[in-house]
């Protein structure tokens, strides 16, 4: 993760750069981060910045071997510790899940994490065994970088076990940096607090949240600022709001596809009548979702179901469709939807446009060879004009 990937928080980025440039990086930093403000994301970016061997002093290069590994969170000198559940559980047991959530949302909060590892109602915990594991890891020589970095997410969960780490945090081995990312100062042991340099990571501004949604999730400006106004600077909440939106889109989209597949005129006209009334922005948003679905469908066809970024229900539908839709048909659908987006932007008559698109999708799926012949004839006619 690069500093540029992180929404806002310019003062913190400037502070880190200055610390490194002046060679005054404390050996233990504690980010006091408002929920959803990006404390963990900043820790990941700072870690990569410190590990990079080709940086220009203000940014990591993003391309060296260290950057590549750090950006996938598999660098052997970048260690993570975070709350887990289960007796004697340690963070290392949960690294695959940890990398998964970081890849989808580094702005996550504790409940998202516990849900992701199936903790149900159990409380998370950084236990005695984990403290031992931290001590053990940092006592080893570094593997590939001269540095070692230990990111501890939510040291609030250390409880009294944290006292085991005091000596290490106070006098870590050479070239070792602790980055602790906390949300609640009152729940951190004073003995730990007093050994770290505090960096406050404030809640994001509404405009920053909105810009982040536009850049990272391709949400239209108006919708992005509407969401930003509801979440009080918490980007994690903002992402959830967009997922809700996306899942509403998914329901509508799957319904449309089912009707296109069956191809019953009455059902199609009914759908088109309802859809035409939604307005241009919503239609564009819907088409954007549709293209996202088909992109993931291509991933499903080529790389298999593990790589697909769709929710369960969508994935099931996609797997069903994969049996009847081949890559050339997929290409035809995608170019049809591209064309459809083009016409929506130019104010085409929505009822005619979407009825025609629906019928063509039906033909692509059900009467592929007839559809191809028709397309060939059309291009011949266009060519002879
Ligand atoms: Zn690099």
pLDDT tens digit sequence for 62-71: 999 999 999 9
Q: Hey, what are 266's tokens?
A: 């009455």
Q: Hey, what are 58's tokens?
A: 């203000």
Domain residue ranges of the chain, discontinuous segments joined by +? 3-203, 236-384
End-to-end, the C-alpha distance of the chain in Å comes to 53
What distances in angstroms separate CA 76 from CA 176, 340, 344, one per listed residue?
13, 48, 50
pLDDT at 255 over 80: yes
**Residue 54 binned pLDDT confidence (cut-offs 50, 70, 90):** very high
Residue 150, strand partner residues: 79, 178
Which superfamily is assigned to 3-203 in CATH? Answer: P-loop containing nucleotide triphosphate hydrolases (3.40.50.300)
Ligand 1: distance of its center to the CA of 101 in Å? 23
Query: Comparing 26-40, 43-57, 329-343, 365-379, which segment has the lowest mean pLDDT?
Result: 365-379
Ligand 1: distance of its center to the CA of 166 in Å? 31
Between the CA atoms of 264, 269, 270 and 275, what dihedral angle is there, to the nearest 10 degrees?
Answer: 130
Confidence (pLDDT) at 247: 76
Picking from 123, 184, 129, the residue whose alpha carbon sits closest to that of residue 153 is 184
Ligand 1: distance of its center to the CA of 52 in Å? 4
Mean pLDDT over 255-266 rounds to: 94
Burial class (CB in 10 A: 0-12, 13-18, 19+), 222: exposed
pLDDT at 123 over 90: no
Higher pLDDT, 269 or 222: 269
Is the pTM above the cut of 0.75? no
Dihedral sign, Cα of residue 172, residue 16, residue 46, residue 11: positive
Confidence (pLDDT) at 385: 61
Ligand 1: distance of its center to the CA of 61 in Å? 4
Ligand 1: distance of its center to the CA of 17 in Å? 15
What is the three-class DSSP state of 307? Answer: helix
179-210 burial by CB neighbour count: b if 16+ within 10 A, else e? bbbbbeeeebbeebbebbeebebebbebebbb
pLDDT at 204 over 80: yes
Q: Hey, what are 213's tokens?
A: 């949604």
Say if CB 50 and CB 220 are below 8 A apart. Answer: no
Confidence (pLDDT) at 331: 95
Higher pLDDT, 59 or 55: 59
Ligand 1: distance of its center to the CA of 134 in Å? 25
Ligand 1: distance of its center to the CA of 130 in Å? 30
Query: Comparing 189-193, 198-202, 326-330, 373-377, which segment has the lowest mean pLDDT?
Result: 373-377
Ligand 1: distance of its center to the CA of 62 in Å? 5
Q: What CATH code would you report for 236-384?
A: 1.20.272
Ligand 1: distance of its center to the CA of 174 in Å? 21
Query: Comparing 24-38, 60-74, 327-341, 366-380, which segment has the lowest mean pLDDT?
Result: 366-380
* Close Cβ partners of 200 (under 8 Å, ≥ 6 residues apart): 31, 32
* Close Cβ partners of 174 (under 8 Å, ≥ 6 residues apart): none
Ligand 1: distance of its center to the CA of 63 in Å? 5
Ligand 1: distance of its center to the CA of 361 in Å? 46
Ligand 1: distance of its center to the CA of 1 in Å? 11
Picking from 44, 63, 43, the residue whose alpha carbon sits closest to that of residue 53 is 63
Mean pLDDT over 233-244 rounds to: 91
Confidence (pLDDT) at 297: 94
Ligand 1: distance of its center to the CA of 26 in Å? 21
Ligand 1: distance of its center to the CA of 20 in Å? 15
Ligand 1: distance of its center to the CA of 208 in Å? 27
pLDDT at 229 over 90: no
Ligand 1: distance of its center to the CA of 180 in Å? 23
DSSP states of 124-184: PB--HHHHHHHHHHHHSPPSSSS-EEEEEE-GGGGGGGGGGGHHHHHSPPTTEEEEEEES-
Ligand 1: distance of its center to the CA of 70 in Å? 9
Say if CB 183 and CB 35 are below 8 A apart. Answer: yes
Counting residues of the chain whose pLDDT is more than 70, the rounded percentage is 99
Highest mean pLDDT among 46-60, 214-228, 281-295, 308-322: 46-60
Ligand 1: distance of its center to the CA of 46 in Å? 12
CA 63/CA 125 separation, integer angstroms: 35
Ligand 1: distance of its center to the CA of 80 in Å? 20
pLDDT at 265 over 90: yes
Confidence (pLDDT) at 129: 95
DSSP letter at 379?
H
- What digits encode the pLDDT tens for the residues 136-174? 999 999 999 999 999 999 999 998 889 999 999 999 999
**Residue 209 binned pLDDT confidence (cut-offs 50, 70, 90):** very high
Ligand 1: distance of its center to the CA of 145 in Å? 11
CA 50/CA 77 separation, integer angstroms: 11
CB atoms within 10 A of CB 350: 19
**Residue 258 binned pLDDT confidence (cut-offs 50, 70, 90):** very high
Higher pLDDT, 321 or 243: 321
CA 294/CA 18 separation, integer angstroms: 45
Mean pLDDT over 255-274 rounds to: 94
Confidence (pLDDT) at 9: 97
pLDDT at 245 over 80: no
Ligand 1: distance of its center to the CA of 95 in Å? 23
Picking from 379, 307, 296, the residue whose alpha carbon sits closest to that of residue 330 is 296
DSSP letter at 186?
G
């Amino acid at each position: 993760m690069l500093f540029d990937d992180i929404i806002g928080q310019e003062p913190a980025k400037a502070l880190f750069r200055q610390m490194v440039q002046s060679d005054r990086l404390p050996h233990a930093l504690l980010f006091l981060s408002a929920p959803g403000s990006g404390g963990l994301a900043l820790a990941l970016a700072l870690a990569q910045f410190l590990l990079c061997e080709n940086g220009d002093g203000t940014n990591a290069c993003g391309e060296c071997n260290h950057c590549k590994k750090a950006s996938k969170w598999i660098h052997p000198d970048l260690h993570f510790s975070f709350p887990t559940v289960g007796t004697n559980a340690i963070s290392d047991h949960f690294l695959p899940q940890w990398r998964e959530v970081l890849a989808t949302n580094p702005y996550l909060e504790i409940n998202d994490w516990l849900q992701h590892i199936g903790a149900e109602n159990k409380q998370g915990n950084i236990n005695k065994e984990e403290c031992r594991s931290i001590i053990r890891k940092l006592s080893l020589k570094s593997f590939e970088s001269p540095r070692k970095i230990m990111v501890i997410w939510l040291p609030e969960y250390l409880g009294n076990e944290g006292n085991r780490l005091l000596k290490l945090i106070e006098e870590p081995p050479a070239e070792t940096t602790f980055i602790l990312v906390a949300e609640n100062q009152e729940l951190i042991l004073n003995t730990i607090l007093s050994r770290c340099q505090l960096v406050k990571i404030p809640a994001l501004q509404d405009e920053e949240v909105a810009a982040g949604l536009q850049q990272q999730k391709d949400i239209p400006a108006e919708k992005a600022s509407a969401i930003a106004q509801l979440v009080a600077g918490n980007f994690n909440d903002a992402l959830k709001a967009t997922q809700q939106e996306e899942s509403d889109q998914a329901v509508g989209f799957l319904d449309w596809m089912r009707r296109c597949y069956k191809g019953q005129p009455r059902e199609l006209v009914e759908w088109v009548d309802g859809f035409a009334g939604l307005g241009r922005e919503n239609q564009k948003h819907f088409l954007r979702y549709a293209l996202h679905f088909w992109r993931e469908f291509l991933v499903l066809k080529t790389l298999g179901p593990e790589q697909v970024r769709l929710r369960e229900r969508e994935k099931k539908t996609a797997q069903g469709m994969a049996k009847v839709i081949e890559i050339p048909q997929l290409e035809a659908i995608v170019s049809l939807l591209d064309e459809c987006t083009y016409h929506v932007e130019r104010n085409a008559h929505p009822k005619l446009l979407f009825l025609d698109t629906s019928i063509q999708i039906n033909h692509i799926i059900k009467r592929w060879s007839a559809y191809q012949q028709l397309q060939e004839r059309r291009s011949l006619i266009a060519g002879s004009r």
